[in-house]
Amino acid sequence: MEKKMREEAKKSGVHLIEKTQKVKLEPIETKGFILDLGGGGEGIIGKLNGNQVISIDNKIEELEEITNESLKIVMDACDLKFLSSSFDTVTSFFTLMYIKDQDLPKIFSEAFRVLKDEGEFLIWDLRIPKRLGDEPFFGVILRITLPDEDVNTGYGIKWEGKEQDIRYFKTLASQAGFIALNEGVDEEIFFLKLIAKKTKVI
């Protein structure tokens, strides 16, 4: 399957990261609901936590692909239709890589707004280097290990003008009011655990 994915990517002008990236996930421990930004497609977070998850995506066809028990809502992550301080946890699983740079500050701001005090924003994403060569797209093949299944999939974007790494996301997070509690880089992918600290310590 992976060989076929790489062959198709090459035909389509996608610069694929040479090595398949691996992510191992366990269910997220949280008391309340989880808001999953861009939760359509494979619906990985919904597979982990089922009906505890509210999956939003701005494309209805992405939500229609989901085969998990999450609540599915068509919604723009830049304009969340939830009251402030509604969620204990917000997640983004390889979603922010698809967002235009000018929209990212708004998404971080909205995630901060809908989180409760000390709520968590969990981010998994991909390091995207400056474009090299003529290939118009950049992508990765992921092997995602869940408690009861493995998911093999690929993610790709239009490469021109898109660069990101964990430092860039940490800067955006800090500007929105988040504190980075935990972080990790594993080859070409990274993880950030952010805390929405809303009460000031006197």
For 95-149, what is each residue's pLDDT tens digit? 999 999 999 999 999 999 999 999 999 999 999 999 988 889 999 999 999 999 9
* Rounded Cα–Cα distance for residues 193 and 88 (Å): 13
Which pLDDT value is given to residue 201? 53
Helix/strand/coil for 48: helix
* Rounded Cα–Cα distance for residues 19 and 2 (Å): 11
Query: Do strands 137-145 and 87-93 pair parallel, antiparallel, or not at all (unpaired)?
Result: unpaired
Which pLDDT value is given to residue 74? 98
Query: Do strands 137-145 and 34-37 pair parallel, antiparallel, or not at all (unpaired)?
Result: unpaired
Beta strands per DSSP E along the chain? 14-16, 21-24, 34-37, 53-57, 71-74, 87-93, 115-126, 137-145, 150-158, 178-186, 189-196
What are the φ and ψ backbone dihedral angles of 75, each rounded to 5 degrees? -160, 150
3-state helix, strand, coil in the chain (%, to 5): 25, 40, 35
The residue ranges of the chain whose pLDDT is under 50 are none
Spell out the domains of the chain, with CATH numbers in brackets.
2-196 (3.40.50.150)
